[in-house]
Amino acid sequence: MTCRICEAPTKEFLDLGESPPANSLVDSPNQRQASYPLVLEWCESCGNVQLRDCLGADELYSDYLYVTPRSGMLSEHYEHLSDYLMVNDYMTADSTVLEIGSNVGYFLEHLKPRVKTVVGVDPARQISEMANAAGIPTVCDFFNEESACRVADLHGRPDVVVARHCLAHNEWPQAMVKGAAAVLGVGGYFVIENAYVLNTIENTEFDQVYHEHMFYYSIKSMSEILRRHDMVLVDVLMSLVHGGSIIFVARRGDGQPTDAVHRYASREDLFLNGATFARFAERTESIKQSLRQLVDELTRSGESIYTYGATAKGNTLLNYVGITAEQIPFCVDNTEMKQGKFLPKSGIEVISEERGLEEPPGYFLLTAWNYQDEIITKARKAGNFKSKFIVPIPFVRIV
Ligand code: TYD
Q: What is the pLDDT of residues 362-390, one digit of tens each?
A: 999 999 998 899 899 999 999 999 999 99
Q: Which amino acid is at 112?
A: K
Q: List the single range of 27-31, 171-175, 290-294 with lowest mean pLDDT.
A: 27-31
Q: List the single range of 3-12, 24-33, 323-332, 359-368 with lowest mean pLDDT.
A: 24-33
Is the minimum distance from the CB of 370 to ligand 1 under 6 angstroms? yes
Q: What is residue 113's DSSP assignment?
A: G
Distance 313 CA to ligand 1 centre (A): 10
pLDDT in tens, 161-219: 999 999 999 999 999 999 999 999 999 999 999 999 999 999 999 999 999 999 999 99
Mean pLDDT, range 97-115, rounded to an integer: 96
Rounded CA separation 396/391 (Å): 6
Q: What is the pTM of this model?
A: 0.92
∠ Cα 372 357 307 (to 5°): 45
Q: In what order do the strands lie in the sheet with 349-351?
A: 349-351, 330-332, 305-308, 363-366, 388-391, 397-398
Distance 145 CA to ligand 1 centre (A): 34
77-116 as b/e: b if 16+ CB within 10 A: bbeebbebbbeeebbeeebbbbbbbbbbbbbbbbbbebbe
Mutation to probe ligand 1, out of 334, 355, 380 (largest number of atoms < 8 A from CB): 334
The total of other beta-carbon atoms located within 10 Å of residue 127's CB is: 24
Is the minimum distance from the CB of 335 to ligand 1 under 6 angstroms? yes
| pLDDT greater than 80 at residue 238 | yes
Q: What is the chain's Cα-based Rg?
A: 21
Distance 110 CA to ligand 1 centre (A): 22
Q: Are 208 and 200 in contact (CB under 8 A)?
A: yes
Atom 1 in ligand 1: which residue has the minimum CA distance?
Answer: 311
The total of other beta-carbon atoms located within 10 Å of residue 187's CB is: 11
Distance 50 CA to ligand 1 centre (A): 25
Is the minimum distance from the CB of 375 to ligand 1 under 6 angstroms? yes
Distance 368 CA to ligand 1 centre (A): 5
Is the minimum distance from the CB of 371 to ligand 1 under 6 angstroms? yes
Q: What is residue 398's DSSP assignment?
A: E
Is the minimum distance from the CB of 378 to ligand 1 under 6 angstroms? yes
Judged on CB neighbours under 10 Å (0-12, 13-18, 19+), 56 is exposed
Is the minimum distance from the CB of 376 to ligand 1 under 6 angstroms? no
| pLDDT greater than 90 at residue 65 | no
